[in-house]
Amino acid sequence: MEIIAEILLQVALWVLEVLLEVLLQGGAGALGEVLGRVLKKPTADFQSVHPWWAALGYALFGAIMGVVSLLVFPSLMIQSPVLRMVNVVVSAVLTGASMAALGAWRRKNGQAIMRLDTFAYGVYFGFAMSLVRYFWGALTTASRTFRFP
């Protein structure tokens, strides 16, 4: 019976770790959307910048937000390397979905949207942010494992 309780507790902790990482990324995506609106008035006209440049820009912005998030939360919530890799994909997709939902809500209320308010650009942002956090976790784990004299 104790083993089952331990397994359930471990699974609950894994779910909580992933949920906290996803919430962190969703919050960073929302902050990025607010910053984007402050810096540039959003319009439905996406033709001003080529889509590839915009994707690169949002990926770079996501990477920057990943670094900023590491300044605020320097230790990763997810300790398992396998779960961290799963989190890269899950967080990116959920960030894209939340940004698309925000864009749909803005569209429904007659507000102008920006590229970050779409699924694809939200995924670019979230993927870059989670990759930065993933590699930081890999580096810190490696530095704890390998000690140089």
Domain spans, the chain:
2-145
Q: What pLDDT shows up at residue 127? A: 93
Contacts of 39 (CB under 8 A, 6+ apart): none
Predicted confidence at residue 7, as pLDDT, reads 80
Q: What is the mean pLDDT of the chain?
A: 81
pLDDT higher than threshold 60 for residue 39:
yes
Per-state percent for the chain, helix, strand, coil, to nearest 5: 80, 0, 20
Which of the residue ranges 19-28, 33-42, 117-126, 137-146 would you say has the lowest mean pLDDT? 137-146
Q: How many residues does the chain have?
A: 149
In sequence order, which ranges of 40-118 are alpha helices (DSSP H)? 51-72, 81-108
Region 69-79 average pLDDT: 80
- Predicted pLDDT of residue 60: 92
Q: How many other CB atoms are found less than 10 A from the CB of residue 80? A: 16
What's the confidence (pLDDT) of residue 93?
92
Token pair of 43 as six digits:
């319009």
Give per-residue pLDDT as tens, 113-141: 888 888 999 999 999 998 998 888 777 76
In terms of Cα–Cα distance, which of 131, 143, 22, 24 is closest to 72? 24
d(CA 89, CA 70): 19
Q: How confident is the model at residue 18 (pLDDT cuts 50, 70, 90)?
A: confident
First to last CA, the chain: 45
Which range (10-19, 31-40, 84-93, 95-104) has the least confidence?
31-40
| Alpha carbon separation from 12 to 15, 16, 65 (Å, rounded) | 5, 6, 28
What's the predicted TM-score (pTM) here?
Answer: 0.75
Q: Smallest Cα–Cα separation from 139: which of 76, 92, 82, 91?
A: 76
